[in-house]
A and B are shown apart, each in its own frame.
Chain A
Amino acid sequence: MNDTLTLTPNITDADDFYADLLTAHEGLNKAESDAFNARLVLVLANHIGTRAVLSQALAAAAMKPE
């Protein structure tokens, strides 16, 4: 199992994914979009599963300088 968060390009067809992400939010108001994002985070977090990787992801998203 890989315990290190991947921070190098890893998404296949990145532009398609990004477009899908925007599409998923279309027609949603702010509250619905927030709820969608929250559900998405939880689904992805469960897929990753490894606590160490999730901790690194939280730190990476905070973008605080080391």
Chain B
Amino acid sequence: MNKIFETPLYPYTRSPDQDAATPVRRKVVIIGAGPVGLAAAIDLAQQGIEAVILDENDKVSFGSRAICFAKRPLEILDRLGCGDPFVDKGVQWNVGKVFFDDRQVYDFNLLPEDGHKRPAFINLQQYYFEEYLVRRVFELQAEGAPIEIRGRNKVEAIGTHPDHVALEVDTPEGAYTLEADWLIACDGANSPTRRMLGLDFVGRVFEDNFLIADVIMEADFPTERWFWFDPPFNKGQSALLHKQPDNVWRIDLQLGWDIDKEREKRPENVIPRLREMLGNEVEFELEWVSIYTFQCRRMEDFRHGRVLFAGDAAHQVSPFGARGANSGLQDTDNLAWKLKLVLDGTAPETLLDSYNQERIYGADENILNSSRSTDFITPKSEMSRTLRDAVLDLSEHYEFARPLVNSGRLSVPCTYDGSSLNSADALDGPERTRPGSSCPDATLGDGYLLDQLGDRFVLLTIDADAPDSFNEDGIEVTRLALSVKDDPTLDLKRRYLGEADGAVYLIRPDQHVAARRPAFDEHHFRAALRRATGKE
């Protein structure tokens, strides 16, 4: 069996930087070639910013790990020029079933909203996710974009300076020094960068262990998310069954706190548990087993001078709700355009503080949601278990209790309410497109709205006049002129106008709304652009 995660994808090769007489200075160095580091590099390189990824390994990650990717990250991948392979390979699902004890208490259908290019969710093993991103890196490289992955380049020491960062990098052929204008640490929950810089990482550790297993089986379980509270095959605990591509099924079994991890991981102990869950007649093969304990915590600041933290390195959540990798991609979505403007000299360095502000807001939202899910799944006291069981018992009979059942609140994009980059809402328009929101998609003829937004500031006009472009202090805004007639389903109207006759939106390069008004007004939109780029 030659699995993708056993093959070196970006094997070590000697870089000319290793032979330079004085350390070479790169624009942006990224530590870690996981989903977040790869996305950051692609985003920057696509916009012409030099990005070098250093990874201590040379392969995609082992085991399925992050498997559930939400609509917003898929839209970000579209902006990065590579959404299709993920969605083509991924498994789409809408139905979930909830079991309590020995019975199904209810099922639900996510009923995806029409008028979006991308589905609400796909399931895809992290190793595929990384492989497709690595392919995109190579594709950009072939087009001459300034992007590079250096395999088996392990950062051993970091020196921070006011105008650059110096890195001691170890390789199979010895160490070298590399400098960067900016460093993005995407080196995961145990971030060596965080440790080397002596930075905090505070929060709540949940006293529990979960066994995750990937099994390959030819079974006719439907493509649904099944979640068990207190099932007969795992008394007092929880379990999750979720389908991935290639007939790989992901099984999460809660084990409790006081266990022998090494013992529980052995196939002779795992297989009987799975047999009890799946039934004796089901043939399966165990592909990967891991045991994890999780924590809900974040760094106090995601920016430390010229070092920026993103993904699990900056914040960690419980896996319930798929808010880990999904939020990491939203970090780089938020960061890349800001870093570009700062490197181009068209925005002040303080714009990067808004990365800190906005993504801490996002991290806190994710930590809150995933902590609540964890408290429901793993009651911490006798009374919280009584209340939890009451909700589950009621949910079988009464619809009202179902929204209280919390087996994970699935990741939705963060709205940056209160961000210093937002201008006051001047449109009596829909709530979901208020300043700070990520733009919801809509159908436009044969295409989609989001494919026409992003990577630059856009002035979206819907049945409103405005100049085709304007430039404010070095930043160009181009107009996208639409009419409600462009979308006969009226999704565009419902999502962007509501009761208004027309609207003008200023949309950031990360497809978030910066400002909106009923009509174009040069003074206000110039001010909004200055504000959105950290100049006011």
- Flag the segment in B167-175, B270-278, B384-392 that touches A: B384-392
Contacts of A43 in B (CB 8 A): 394, 398, 400
Contact B401 A35 (CB under 8 A): no
Which chain A residues border B401 with CB–CB below 8 Å? Answer: 42, 46
Q: What is the distance, in angstroms, from A39's C-beta to the closest C-beta of chain B?
A: 5
Which residue of chain B has its CB nearest to the CB of A31?
A: B386
Q: Does B393 lie at the interface of the complex (its beta carbon under 8 Å from any beta carbon of A)?
A: yes
Q: Does A34 contact B (CB under 8 A)?
A: yes
Residues of A within 8 A of B404 (CB): 42
A residues in contact with B398, CB < 8 Å: 43
Whether B386 pairs with A42 at a CB distance below 8 angstroms is no
Q: Give A38 to B385 CA distance when docked, in angstroms.
A: 10
Residues 25-46 of A, flagged 1 when their CB comes within 8 A of B and 0 if not, give 0000001001100110111001
User: How near does chain B come to A65, taking the closest CB pair, in angstroms?
Assistant: 23
Query: A31: which B residues are within 8 A, CB to CB?
Result: 386
The interface on chain A, measured as residues whose beta carbon lies within 8 A of the other chain's beta carbons, has a size of: 9
Let me know if A38 and B400 touch, CB within 8 A: no
Residues of A within 8 A of B387 (CB): 38, 41-42
Contacts of A39 in B (CB 8 A): 390, 393-394
Q: CB distance B390 to A35 under 8 Å?
A: yes
Among B373-417, those with CB < 8 Å from A are 383, 386-387, 389-391, 393-394, 398, 400-401, 404
Contact residues of B between 126 and 151, Cβ < 8 Å to A:
none
Bin chain B's interface residue count: 10 to 19
Q: Tell me the residues in window 9-59 of chain A with beta carbons closer than 8 Å to chain B beta carbons.
A: 31, 34-35, 38-39, 41-43, 46
- A42: chain B residues at CB < 8 Å are 387, 390-391, 394, 401, 404
**Which residue of A has the minimal Cβ distance to B404?**
A42
Which residues of chain B have C-beta atoms less than 8 A from A34's C-beta? Answer: 383, 386
Q: How far is the CA of A46 from the CA of B398 in the complex (A)?
A: 11
Task: Chain A residues near B393: list those with CB within 8 A.
Answer: 35, 39
Q: Majority SS of interface residues in chain A?
A: helix
Alpha-carbon distance A39/B386, docked complex (angstroms):
9
A35 touches B400 (CB 8 A): no
Closest-CB distance, A45 to chain B (whole angstroms): 9
Known: A42-B404, A46-B400, A46-B401. A35 touches B386 (CB 8 A): yes
Q: CA A34 – CA B398 in complex, angstroms?
A: 19
B389 nearest CB neighbor, chain A only = A35
Taken together as a complex, chains A and B put the C-alpha atoms of A35 and B386 apart, in Å, by 6
Q: Looking across the interface, which residue of chain A has its beta carbon closest to that of B399?
A: A46
A11–B394 CA distance with the chains assembled, in angstroms: 25
Q: Which of B428-481 contact A (CB under 8 A)?
A: none
CA distance A42 to B401 in the complex (A): 8
A residues in contact with B383, CB < 8 Å: 34, 38
Docked complex Cα distance between A46 and B391 (Å) = 11
B159 CB → nearest A CB, Å: 51
CA distance A50 to B153 in the complex (A): 57
Q: Which residues of chain A have C-beta atoms less than 8 A from B394's C-beta?
A: 39, 42-43
What per-residue 1/0 map shows which CB atoms of B43-81 lie under 8 Å from chain A?
A: 000000000000000000000000000000000000000
Complex Cα–Cα for A41 and B393 (A): 13
| B383, B391, B400 interface centre (most CB from chain A within 10 Å) | B400
Task: Return chain B residues, CB-CB under 8 Å to A38.
Answer: 383, 386-387, 389-390
CA distance A39 to B401 in the complex (A): 10
- Interface 0/1 of B487-522, CB less than 8 Å to A: 000000000000000000000000000000000000
Q: With both chains docked as a complex, state the minimum distance between the C-beta of B457 and any C-beta of chain A, in angstroms.
A: 38
Output the least CB separation between B495 and chain A (Å).
27
In this complex, what residue of A is CB-closest to B388?
A38
- List, in ascending order, chain A residues with CB within 8 A of B400's CB: 43, 46
Nearest CB on A from B483, distance (A) = 39
Interface centre among A31, A39, A43, A46 (most CB of B within 10 A): A39
For residue A35, which residues in chain B have a CB less than 8 angstroms away from its CB? 386, 389-390, 393
Query: In the complex, which of the residues B387, B391, B393 has the most CB atoms of chain A within 10 Å of its own CB atom?
Result: B387
- Most chain B Cβ neighbours within 10 Å, of A41, A42, A46: A42
Bound CA–CA A46/B404 (angstroms)? 10
Q: Which residues of A contact B386 (CB under 8 A)?
A: 31, 34-35, 38
Q: Report the separation of the CA atoms of residues A42 and B397 in the bound assembly, to the nearest whole angstrom.
A: 13
15 CB-based A-B contacts, threshold 8 Å: A31-B386, A35-B390, A38-B383, A38-B386, A38-B389, A38-B390, A39-B390, A39-B393, A39-B394, A41-B390, A42-B401, A43-B394, A43-B400, A46-B400, A46-B401
Further pairs besides A34-B383, A38-B387: 9, Cβ < 8 Å: A39-B390, A39-B393, A41-B387, A41-B390, A42-B391, A42-B394, A42-B404, A43-B394, A43-B400
Query: Which A-B residue pairs are the 8 nearest by beta carbons?
Result: A38-B390, A46-B400, A39-B390, A38-B387, A38-B386, A34-B386, A39-B394, A42-B390
B binding-site residues for A, Cβ under 8 Å:
383, 386-387, 389-391, 393-394, 398, 400-401, 404
